Amino acid sequence: MFKLVSKGNVKYYIITSFEETGLVRHGFSTRAGGVSEGCYGSMNLRFNCDDTRENVLENFRIMADTLDMDVSRLVLSKQVHEDNIHTVTETDAGNGISRENSFTSVDALITDKSGLPMVTLFADCVPVFFLDTKNRVAALAHSGWRGTVKRISQKTVEKMKRDYGSKAENIITAIGPSIQECHFEVSDDVAEIFTSEFGADTAVKYGDRYHVNMQLAIKKQLAESGILPDNIDDSGICTYCNSDRLFSHRKTNGKRGNMGAFIELI
């Protein structure tokens, strides 16, 4: 279950199944509790926009403090809607936040090392959290529609199995706030890709336009990897429907900040 919690002015989600393991610090930010203004108000974690770098860095600092993480060690992805999964090690500490981002194409992060807090960014695309509770492996994936079609979540589970000996039944997963079928209208060709790749129930007609259910497509690929149904926690929270407290790219025609998914092995 995704639970909205507050610390000072900061509001963020925690995943109760992840919290209960005692193995990780984690969270998913909302718009609340930052220093940015206007369409970036207020917890904007997006660099390279009209918000100032100082604001974004301060927002990262506030989130890190809130989640009891070391901001100087945060490892940021480099999301380009591909399916590259980066294995995070000590040399990555600080990548993209306390120093320049040295990645070129990293839409998922994975590690079995403690003390390396990882971050991926969102504003409608789907955040997917992973934790092998037995072998202590954590991962985050950024799954927009392209990443979903490239099966980045499935590939992350396969990498956990291959590189860390993870067994599917020991992996818990969670699908965070993102644009849901109610608002994710797509062109006919995108609908066709989902129908052929994941089945007709992932692209549903609303009037004369198709809407895609990315979360269902992700659940199907997780199930194919052997993740148990009880170990897939779907927030069901639509960013577009809740744009007062969550950033939504679609709702705002791109005038928006980014939210962050954070996870660190303790």
In the bound complex, what is the minimum distance in angstroms from residue 201's beta carbon to Zn ion? Answer: 18
| Spatial contact of 31 and 42, defined as CB atoms under 8 Å apart | yes
In the bound complex, what is the minimum distance in angstroms from residue 125's beta carbon to Zn ion? Answer: 14
Q: Is 77 helix (H, G, I), strand (E, B) or coil?
A: coil
CB of 159 or CB of 251, closer to Zn ion:
251
For the chain, strand residue ranges (E) read: 2-7, 10-15, 24-29, 75-76, 85-87, 108-111, 118-122, 126-132, 137-143, 171-175, 185-186, 203-206, 209-212, 232-234, 259-265
CB of 107 or CB of 181, closer to Zn ion:
181
Does 11 help bind Zn ion (rule: CB under 5 A)? no
* Size of interface with Zn ion, in residues (CB under 5 A): 6
The footprint of Zn ion on residues 163-202 (CB under 5 A) is 180, 182-183
The footprint of Zn ion on residues 198-257 (CB under 5 A) is 238, 240-241
Residue nearest to Zn ion (CB): 238
CB of 118 or CB of 191, closer to Zn ion:
191
In the bound complex, what is the minimum distance in angstroms from residue 185's beta carbon to Zn ion? Answer: 10
Write b or e for each residue in 50-73: b if 16 or more Cβ atoms lie within 10 A of its Cβ, otherwise e.
ebeeebbbbbbebbbebbebebeb
CB of 61 or CB of 183, closer to Zn ion:
183
> Using DSSP, how many helices (H) and how many strands (E) does the chain show?
6, 15
CB of 183 or CB of 245, closer to Zn ion:
183
Backbone angles phi, psi at 69, to 5 degrees: -110, 160
Neighbours of 112 (CB within 10 A): 19
In the bound complex, what is the minimum distance in angstroms from residue 238's beta carbon to Zn ion? Answer: 3
The residue among 154, 158, 164 whose CA lies nearest residue 220 is 154
CB of 110 or CB of 179, closer to Zn ion:
179
In the bound complex, what is the minimum distance in angstroms from residue 17's beta carbon to Zn ion? Answer: 24
In the bound complex, what is the minimum distance in angstroms from residue 179's beta carbon to Zn ion? Answer: 7
Residue whose tokens read 């989130």: 63
CB of 108 or CB of 179, closer to Zn ion:
179
In the bound complex, what is the minimum distance in angstroms from residue 191's beta carbon to Zn ion? Answer: 17
What x/- string results for residues 129 through 168 when contact with Zn ion is judged by CB under 5 A?
Answer: ----------------------------------------
Give CA–CA dist 231/254, Å, rounded: 33
Give CA–CA dist 228/75, Å, rounded: 29
Residues that bind Zn ion (CB under 5 A): 180, 182-183, 238, 240-241
